[in-house]
Chain A
Amino acid sequence: MALVRVISSDGAAFLVSQRLAKRSGKLKTEIETFRKSSDNSEAQPEIRIVTIRAEILRLVLQWLQQHQNDPVLPANQNEQDGRGDAEMGQSQWDRDFLAPMDLGIVMELILAANHLEVKGLLDITCKLVESKITGRTVDEIRTAFKLKSDFKGNEEEQTRLENRWCVEN
């Protein structure tokens, strides 16, 4: 079985099958690039991901492994066939996988899924973030994402007023 070494920003190396790694658009490209530039077709590719730390990389690979037999979602999947694909891909396993994570980890996972081009993982993590917005008050949203209001003066009041343009008085 052809393997590839994937190395995190903090130097941890993960040895995974190329078949699995290729389910990430980014790793697929990297492996192919390595093949072209290498004289030895048997050489084991080594890919350094400088933006992703070991803990997060492990989670991405874990997710990929669980979903290795899913049909690959095209990275440039059009929005037309979009609504519902996040739900479609979200299994009980995914829910259990995401459940213990705090939002900071989820945000890192989003960045990693985006960088590694893992559409399915990006969808479920974004969906999770969206669920932290749904039905929440403004303060709850700010607290959840550690965001501070940066409105100046009466800007927030003004925005509230604009929101009232949309609803029945």
Chain B
Amino acid sequence: MVAEKSCSSIWYNLVQKLGFCWNIQEDKFPPPISDIKSATGNIVQEDILTDNGFNLCEIVIPETILEFILCEVAEEDILNCRLVCRTWKNLIARKYLWKRRFERRRVDICSIPASILDKPDAWLVFYAHLRYLILSKNYIGNSSGERGLEGWTMWDNVGRGHRWRVKESLVSLAATSLFNGTVPFYFDNLNDLCSKYYIVDLWREGLTPKLMKLLLPFRIKCSQLYASKCDDFDGIGLFNWEIRLLNSQEKTIAKHKTGMELPRKVEWRMVEHSFNFSENSFELLDDLRYVVFIHGGDQLYYGIKLAKSCLTIECLENNPVPDIERNYVQLPIEMEDGGANAIAKSWPTTSVHGWTELGRLALK
């Protein structure tokens, strides 16, 4: 029995290394109890003595079966399973198990950069991506008005209520290559002073400080499509766009601000900004919690059209090169690109969602 076990362990190791997938019903691979590897690749010596995690109700089941079962367990419960015993914990740290979990849920594991796959705590990233799709989703949940104005907070300083509405897009909009498919709606800003903002709580979205550190280097990439809406009049639209990164106390850590005048009949264009985080940003990430995505127009001008507000997380292969480095988050960063006064004038004076930063700014 002992000889058989060690022999199969060699096979097992080979299979693990080569990344082959074996059939769960193949019984040529009894549980290689003696060589569970921890995520770091070190053999956990104690496991040689304790194979208790495979012993369910006094029946020793093969590792492949236990793995099969753990693949079925939902994300909500998998963290609990780590606490059951060492064997389970070690299994859940394995890249191989997560590969299968990804397959099971039809999520492409290629969304996780290769550089992360072999990190000791990579399971955290696997977990967060399967549960929250951290590396492929748009964190702005209602990016073009698909769900009306849900998630967006409006404000105005002229006491007439906000003047935002959602309009169904025309054919010309869907045809714009920037849209990459169809965007059936867009935000329409009536000719008035108004802005709106969307708060992304990164922690709640699964991007906890520990996780962000694991993802380094990465960037928070924001983009916005905009167009003038004064097709029929001679007029100028003003587009204001601002992204703020806040800490857990809702204080601004960094921001990017831009504003521009749009002459009549400006077709859809995209504005983009990335906040890059390198290994140097390590400490900063301990307390980066919110991103506030603000956009709007101005009353002195004709309105604007906005669609596809976008915030994504992208891992970078290398630490950002020097020419991007100027965008490194520093404390504090002020980028006044001009034209954004409308936003500065129009901060709401009340706290929203317990978020008071905008209110504080209004007083300045």
Contact residues of A with B, CB < 8 Å? 25, 75-76, 79-80, 82-83, 86, 102-104, 106-108, 110-111, 114-115, 117, 119, 122, 126-127, 129-130, 133-138, 141-142, 145-152, 155-156, 159-160, 162-163, 165-169
In whole angstroms, what is the CA distance A14 to B99 when docked?
A: 41
In whole angstroms, what is the CA distance A122 to B50 when docked?
A: 26
Query: Is B53 at the interface (CB under 8 A from chain A)?
Result: yes
In whole angstroms, what is the CA distance A168 to B206 when docked?
A: 7
Contacting residues, chain A, for B208 (C-beta < 8 A): 165-169
Contacting residues, chain A, for B81 (C-beta < 8 A): 133, 141
Contacting residues, chain B, for A108 (C-beta < 8 A): 59
8 Å CB contact of A107 from B46, B61, B85: B61
8 Å CB contact of B65 from A110, A141, A159: A110
A82, B83: Cβ atoms under 8 Å? no
Given A79-B104, A103-B56, A168-B208, A114–B65 Cβ distance below 8 Å? Answer: yes
A-B contacts, 29 of them at CB < 8 A, read A25-B25, A75-B23, A82-B103, A83-B106, A104-B58, A111-B65, A117-B25, A119-B25, A126-B68, A127-B72, A129-B69, A133-B73, A133-B81, A135-B76, A141-B80, A145-B56, A145-B57, A147-B84, A149-B84, A150-B53, A151-B86, A152-B46, A155-B86, A165-B124, A165-B208, A166-B79, A166-B210, A166-B211, A168-B208
Contacting residues, chain A, for B76 (C-beta < 8 A): 134-135
Contact residues of B with A, CB < 8 Å? 23-25, 27, 46, 50, 52-53, 55-59, 61-62, 65, 68-69, 72-74, 76-77, 79-87, 89, 100, 103-106, 121, 124, 127-128, 201, 203-204, 206, 208, 210-211
Say how far A62's CB is from chain B's closest CB, in angstroms: 20
8 Å CB contact of A163 from B79, B104, B105: B79
20 further A-B contacts with Cβ under 8 Å, apart from A122-B25, A163-B83, are A76-B25, A79-B104, A114-B65, A126-B69, A127-B72, A133-B73, A133-B80, A134-B77, A136-B80, A146-B57, A147-B53, A147-B85, A148-B52, A150-B46, A150-B86, A151-B85, A162-B124, A165-B208, A168-B203, A168-B204
Interface of A is mostly: helix
